Amino acid sequence: MTNQIPAENTLSIEEVQAAFAKSYGGLVGQLTLQNLSLEKQVQSLQSRLSDVEEIAFGLKRDNANLIKSQVTLEAEIAALIKAGPTADQIAAQGKAVIDYEDTETIASFAAANYGKEKAASTEAA
């Protein structure tokens, strides 16, 4: 007895390929579809990542502008706080002028704002 395969049990290359395609073709097709689906998902995620990066850049720019505005406002507040006593003094002088309680204040106010001729006429009054 020999180890030869009888002729009726031999397959041609085409028959082997057809048998392989029948057995594994469905799996290869399924894997190909999954691969295409994953590639589309990757493209979608890359696009979304790009959008997120643009949003992050915009937020950083807006944050920088807000910080600049905050610094400007803090400087303005500091100037107002520094000017506060002066404003209080001006308000007190204005009240004294309006109430006619302090003739010296009235005269100095008139001298400062209307000239010495008007100050003299205000003192005389």
- pTM of the predicted model as reported, rounded to 2 decimal places: 0.42
What is the pLDDT, as a whole number, of residue 82? 81
Per-residue pLDDT tens digits for 46-85: 999 999 999 999 999 999 999 999 999 999 988 888 876 7
Amino acid 63 reads: N
Per-residue pLDDT tens digits for 26-48: 777 777 778 888 999 999 999 99
> Residue 123, CB half-sphere, CA atoms under 13 Å: how many?
14
Give the distance from CA 37 to its chain's centroid.
34
C-alpha closest to that of 95 among 85, 86, 106, 84? 106
